[in-house]
């Protein structure tokens, strides 16, 4: 947790949807957690733009369309996960692990996602 104080904001939704899938990058509740950080940075390189179906015809169809990771200074976060799946680069993790992105390097034709693998620990803080 950072040293900055933030205002607590309650996030309320009028509609609660039940979804099955893999969540995209997310924020955890603001509190301290115990976890291990593997020291090696991991770099995943994906194309900046393309057609989902061109990478995985079994997983995606024409309806999924095209992607552009950064278009007109807008980064649509769920597209990162979708491209990782399409290019078979979604990290293989144990159930108590997570990939935590620390930087995105966006170049003309590729995007590098730099991050660490963390392992959540059950001990209380």
How many domains are there within the chain? 1
The predicted pLDDT at position 8 comes to 58
**Residue 69: inside a domain, yes or no?**
yes
**Residue 25: inside a domain, yes or no?**
no
**Domain carrying residue 44:** 35-120
For the ranges 6-15, 32-41, 91-100, which has the lowest average pLDDT?
6-15
**Which one has a higher pLDDT value, 102 or 4?**
102
**Residue 2: inside a domain, yes or no?**
no
How high is the mean pLDDT of the chain?
89
16-71 pLDDT, tens digit each: 788 888 888 888 999 999 999 999 999 999 999 999 999 999 999 999 999 999 99
Please determine, for residue 95, whether its predicted confidence score (pLDDT) is greater than 80.
yes
Which band of pLDDT confidence, cut at 50, 70 and 90, is reported for residue 90?
very high
Q: How far apart are alpha carbons 60 and 65 in whole angstroms?
A: 9
Maximal C-alpha separation, the chain: 48
**Residue 9: inside a domain, yes or no?**
no
Q: How far apart are alpha carbons 18 and 23 in whole angstroms?
A: 12
The model's pTM is 0.80
SS3 34: coil
**Residue 15: inside a domain, yes or no?**
no
**Residue 51: inside a domain, yes or no?**
yes
The predicted pLDDT at position 11 comes to 60
Residue 38 Cα distances to 27, 51, 52, 114, 118, angstroms = 20, 33, 31, 13, 6
**Residue 12: inside a domain, yes or no?**
no
**Residue 10: inside a domain, yes or no?**
no
Contact residues for 5 (Cβ-Cβ < 8 A; gap 6+): none
């Amino acid at each position: 947790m950072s040293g900055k104080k933030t205002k607590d904001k309650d996030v309320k939704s009028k509609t609660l949807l039940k979804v099955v899938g893999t969540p995209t990058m997310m924020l955890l509740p603001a509190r301290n957690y115990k976890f291990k950080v593997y020291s090696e940075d991991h770099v995943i390189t994906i194309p900046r733009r393309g057609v989902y179906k061109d990478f995985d015809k079994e997983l995606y169809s024409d309806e999924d369309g095209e992607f552009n990771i950064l278009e007109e200074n807008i980064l649509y976060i769920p597209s990162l996960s979708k491209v990782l799946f399409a290019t078979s680069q979604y990290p293989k993790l144990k159930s108590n692990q997570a990939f935590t992105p620390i930087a995105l390097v966006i170049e003309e034709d590729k995007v590098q996602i730099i991050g660490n693998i963390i392992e959540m620990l059950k001990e209380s803080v």
